[in-house]
């Protein structure tokens, strides 16, 4: 469990790949810590999320993705950062 002073950074991106390399890139993404493929399209698009404790690690992982053979481009769609402390707070319903 992370230190409660740490943050969780969550980023979503669309990874454009050469269609013939779709499976190869998806396999390469599985080897990147914190990366998860949520969907794909045969035209060569993968929907991916990254989770890491620091923005720098997110950027490093995006660079790793861009270096995978078959990747054309990785386009960031969304990023959110939240402290673990706030994530561990209960939610009250009225």
| pLDDT, greater one: 30 or 83 | 30
pLDDT at residue 93 greater than cutoff 60: yes
- For the chain, helix (H) and strand (E) counts, in that order, are 3, 4
DSSP, res 30: H
- Sorting pLDDT into bands at 50, 70 and 90, what band is 84? low
| pLDDT, greater one: 84 or 83 | 83
In the prediction, which pLDDT does 69 show?
Answer: 97
Q: Is the dihedral of CA 31, 67, 14, 24 positive or negative?
A: negative
Q: How large a percentage of the chain has pLDDT more than 90? A: 72
Query: In this predicted model, what pLDDT tens digit does every residue of 1-33 receive, in sequence order?
Result: 445 458 889 999 999 999 999 999 999 999 999
Q: How many residues does the chain have?
A: 94
In the prediction, which pLDDT does 92 show?
Answer: 72
> Exposed, middle or buried by CB within 10 Å (0-12, 13-18, 19+), for 48?
buried
**Pairing verdict, β 71-83 and 35-41:** unpaired
């Amino acid at each position: 469990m992370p230190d409660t002073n740490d943050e969780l950074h969550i980023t979503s991106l669309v990874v454009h790949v050469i269609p013939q390399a779709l499976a190869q890139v998806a396999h390469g993404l599985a080897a990147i810590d914190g990366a998860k493929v949520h969907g794909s399209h045969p035209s060569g698009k993968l929907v991916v999320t990254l989770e890491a404790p620091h923005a720098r690690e997110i950027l490093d992982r995006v660079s790793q993705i861009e270096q995978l053979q078959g990747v054309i481009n990785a386009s960031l769609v969304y990023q959110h950062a939240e402290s673990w402390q706030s994530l561990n707070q209960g939610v009250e319903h009225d």
